[in-house]
């Protein structure tokens, strides 16, 4: 049951992160993406890696090192886009 709760929260947080990004709240979106990424969401890992590498975390500090690390984790998790 606990695992199911994390899966449901993971998808809700991921959807919320994408919505927040579109609404101009990139700083908050990155925080939700990071939470999803730490739970193993490879789509969130990819988006977080992209944001950190190319856009400075969508208005946060740019960190190519951390961005590439999230890309790598996403690829290792099976995300073909990474």
Instruction: Please report the pLDDT score of residue 4 as a whole number.
Output: 67
What pLDDT digit, counting tens, does each position of 12-33 carry? 999 999 999 889 888 888 889 9
* Residue 75 backbone phi and psi in degrees, to 5: -65, -45
**What is the pLDDT confidence band of residue 72, given thresholds at 50, 70 and 90?**
very high
What pLDDT digit, counting tens, does each position of 42-65 carry? 999 998 898 888 766 555 556 778
Q: In Å, how far are 19, 39, 53, 56, 78 from 28, measured between CA atoms?
A: 10, 17, 17, 13, 26
- From CA 47, how far away is CA 30, in angstroms rounded? 9
User: If you ran DSSP here, which 8-state letter would residue 13 be given?
Assistant: H
Model-level pTM? 0.78
Residues with Cβ within 8 Å of residue 56, at least 6 apart in sequence: 62, 63
């Amino acid at each position: 049951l606990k695992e199911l709760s994390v899966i449901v929260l993971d998808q809700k947080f991921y959807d919320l992160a994408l919505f927040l990004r579109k609404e101009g709240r990139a700083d908050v979106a990155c925080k939700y993406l990071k939470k999803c990424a730490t739970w193993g969401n490879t789509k969130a890992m990819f988006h977080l890696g992209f944001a950190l590498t190319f856009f400075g975390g969508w208005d946060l500090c740019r960190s190519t090192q951390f961005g590439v690390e999230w890309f790598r984790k996403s690829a290792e998790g099976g995300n073909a886009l990474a």
